[in-house]
């Protein structure tokens, strides 16, 4: 599990996470809901295991998106989740230059948490990326959260998302100079790179204690 997931896991378990300049003091902390006496330790552990599994899957999807889909350029990423408890949106900016990745880990943690929220059975969500390429190009791609993974949106679907008013359904003029592209497939972690492909540039060290791995 990556250090990004460690930040998420720490916040879910109520541990203090050092806030960045753009974070409020309590932004990365989680206050557990009151637990009734009727709930057993086994039930609580099961719920925690399910939450951790979703966070692991969300981080896998996020890192796979960074590793295999986003090319050179500056990328503005926005993740959204619609749940029975309300909507949540988080965004971040990151830059890819060859094998180098410039990223804010706290923002990555928040984006992963939103993707995980969208993976809950009764929720929906999506990830949209606007890319400013080194050649001056500007294009937008999107992925829907479905079946615990990121599924690519077609060029027409992402165009409609940007050119239709979500409240009225009225058409909105497309932004000049922006291309709406078909999104690429996001491979799963067990789909190893083929011979000749470069290794991941986002695979950081595993910071978990030995008994928390696998």
What's the predicted TM-score (pTM) here? 0.68
Residue 152 confidence (pLDDT):
96
Residue 204 confidence (pLDDT):
39
Residue 121 confidence (pLDDT):
81
Residue 155 confidence (pLDDT):
94
Is residue 140 within 8 Å of 107, Cβ to Cβ? Answer: no
Q: How many residues does the chain have?
A: 214
Helix and strand numbers (H, E) in the chain are 4, 7
Q: Rounded to whole angstroms, how far apart are CA atoms 28 and 24?
A: 8
Residue 43 confidence (pLDDT):
59
- In this prediction, the residues of the chain whose per-residue pLDDT falls under 50 are 1-32, 192-214
Residue 23 confidence (pLDDT):
38
Residue 75 confidence (pLDDT):
97
Residue 189 confidence (pLDDT):
79
Residue-wise pLDDT tens digits, 191-202: 644 433 444 444
Closest Cα to residue 133, out of 96, 161, 104, 175? 96
């Amino acid at each position: 599990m990556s250090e990004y997931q460690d930040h998420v896991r720490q916040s879910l378990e109520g541990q203090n996470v050092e806030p960045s300049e753009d974070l409020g003091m309590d932004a990365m902390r989680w206050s557990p809901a009151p637990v009734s006496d009727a709930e057993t330790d086994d039930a609580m552990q099961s719920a925690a295991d399910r939450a951790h599994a979703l966070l692991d899957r969300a981080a896998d999807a996020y890192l796979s998106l960074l590793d295999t889909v986003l090319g050179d350029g500056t990328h503005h990423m926005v993740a959204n989740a619609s749940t029975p408890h309300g909507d949540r949106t988080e965004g971040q900016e990151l830059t890819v230059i060859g094998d180098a990745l410039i990223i804010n880990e706290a923002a990555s943690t928040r984006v992963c948490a939103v993707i995980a929220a969208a993976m809950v059975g009764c929720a929906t969500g999506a990830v949209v990326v606007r890319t400013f390429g080194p050649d001056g190009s500007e294009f937008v791609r999107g992925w829907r959260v479905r079946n615990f993974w990121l599924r690519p949106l077609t060029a027409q679907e992402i165009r409609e998302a940007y050119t239709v008013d979500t409240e009225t359904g009225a058409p909105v003029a497309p932004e000049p100079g922006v291309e709406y592209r078909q999104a690429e497939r996001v491979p799963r972690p067990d789909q190893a790179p083929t011979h000749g492909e470069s290794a991941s540039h986002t695979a950081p060290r595993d910071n978990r204690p030995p008994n928390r791995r696998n």
